[in-house]
Amino acid sequence: DWLSHPGTQALCAVLETAGHKALFVGGCVRNALLGVPVADVDIATDALPSEVSRLAEAASLRVVPTGIDHGTVTVISGGCAHEVTTFRRDVETDGRRAVVAFASEVAEDAARRDFTMNALYADARGRVIDPLGGLPDLVARRLRFVGDAHLRIREDYLRILRFFRFHAHYGDPAQGIDPEGLAACAELAAGIDGLSRERIGAEMRKLLAAPDPAPSLAAMARAGVLVYALPGADPRALAPLIHLEAGLPVRWQRRLAVIGGQEVAEVLRLSRADAGTVAALREAAGRLLTPAALGWKLGEATGADAVLVRAALMEGPVPAGWQAEVARGAAARFPISAADLIPAFTGPALGQELKRLETLWLQSDLRLKRDALLGENGRDRPDTPR
């Protein structure tokens, strides 16, 4: 586990030996307490960024100045990256500023964080520090804003999306969403318009990667937040999809294909590859193709997604044995090449004939063999047995 990782312990020792605090904070503490895998290790310290860099370099650790302006340096220790951020507080006049004395600082650093469960700290020995009562909220799987929800959202409207994102991952679907936070998100939803598409996209992709994002997205729709985050999206087909994909690896592209409006790729600033996958899934869902044909056209992973997306949108079942069929299709090769048709066909006619045979082959569910297909192309032999 990451806490006892020698590189992590070594970095903490470097800071502590110099008389500084080194406290784990945010997602790593929250996830460790929940027994969920930790994505990245964030460390909060009272050392200034320049001091963190100096100490780390003196200990022969590699330092990347990721966000000096925000008080963050990345320190590579034992092959692991650690984001080390100086305790901060939000100062109304000039934004964020590093401060020094510890006892009040951890409380101040906590006060500028978004949710109580994200404002949990732990020292290098794993002792938890909980300045804001985040632990009982975490145990109850309750997402609560730090301080007044309205004020905190007005400081940063991204927190609306983060509220639903963390609820999707760590909330209690049975208990529902915190009514106070929800009301504030609903009231201030229009503020999402002022956010960059990149920030919206990053949060939405993470939300869609939750084990079951359906309740959270439904809540976003009811609160009038979804129209700002993802215009044109309809989350109704998501619940059937989640049901169908039980036990399969999570792929947010598949969830997005089911809910997405026409312009989701643009709205979320998807990479070319992700946009292509989502578009292919939406296109395939509108066509009558067998699982094998989808596997052949889209490959095994995206072909499987297409079967699920189609079934979810049609509110139908997935065909029996579909996964094996997608795999069969992904491994199949269309048995005809242009060389088989020349000289009988040339020019545009060659392309047309190849297309016609491909359609026949797809209609046979990829079962017609080369000879049977070539028998098909003689106009004078229309009754060639398959």
Give the residue nearest to ligand ATP (CB): 27
Cα–Cα distance measured from residue 56 to residue 134, given in angstroms and rounded to the nearest whole number: 31
Among 7, 26, 49, 134, which residue interacts with ligand ATP (rule: CB under 6 A)? 26
Tell me how far, at minimum, the Cβ of 192 lies from ligand ATP, in Å: 13
Tell me how far, at minimum, the Cβ of 41 lies from Mg ion, in Å: 9
Among 8, 42, 264, 309, which residue interacts with ligand ATP (rule: CB under 6 A)? 42
**If binding is defined by CB under 5 A, does position 172 make contact with Mg ion?**
no
Cα end-to-end span (Å), the chain: 60
Residue 331: partners with Cβ closer than 8 Å, 6 or more residues away: 295
- Quote the tokens at residue 76: 């590579």
Among 82, 144, 159, 328, which residue interacts with ligand ATP (rule: CB under 6 A)? 159
**If binding is defined by CB under 6 A, does position 248 make contact with ligand ATP?**
no
Return the number of the residue (21 or 159) whose C-beta is nearest ligand ATP: 159
Q: Could you give the string, one character per residue 180-219, with x where binding to ligand ATP holds by CB under 6 A and - elsewhere?
A: --------------------------x-------------
Three-class SS of residue 95? strand
**If binding is defined by CB under 5 A, does position 85 make contact with Mg ion?**
no
Return the number of the residue (54 or 96) whose C-beta is nearest ligand ATP: 96
Residue identified by tokens 């145990």 is 139
List binders of Mg ion among 17-56 (CB under 5 A): 27, 40
Quick one: what does residue 16 bind among Mg ion, ligand ATP, none, with the CB cut-off 5 to 8 Å set by partner type?
none
* Vertex 315: Cα angle to 311 and 319 (nearest 5): 40
Q: Are the beta carbons of 153 and 188 closer than 8 angstroms?
A: yes
Following DSSP, what letter does each residue of 171-223 receive, concatenated? Answer: S-TTT---HHHHHHHHHTGGGGGGS-HHHHHHHHHHHHTSS--HHHHHHHHHT
Name the phi and psi angles at 122, rounded to 5.
Answer: -145, 145
**If binding is defined by CB under 6 A, does position 129 make contact with ligand ATP?**
no
Quick one: what does residue 159 bind among Mg ion, ligand ATP, none, with the CB cut-off 5 to 8 Å set by partner type?
ligand ATP
Is the Cα dihedral 338, 339, 341, 343 positive or negative?
A: positive
Tell me how far, at minimum, the Cβ of 132 lies from ligand ATP, in Å: 11
Residue 145 DSSP label: B
Among 27, 201, 295, 303, which residue interacts with ligand ATP (rule: CB under 6 A)? 27
Q: Are the beta carbons of 138 and 120 closer than 8 angstroms?
A: yes
**If binding is defined by CB under 6 A, does position 113 make contact with ligand ATP?**
yes
Which residues pair with residue 62 across a beta bridge? 76
Residues making contact with Mg ion (CB under 5 A): 27, 40
Residues making contact with ligand ATP (CB under 6 A): 26-27, 39-40, 42, 113-114, 118-119, 156, 158-159, 206
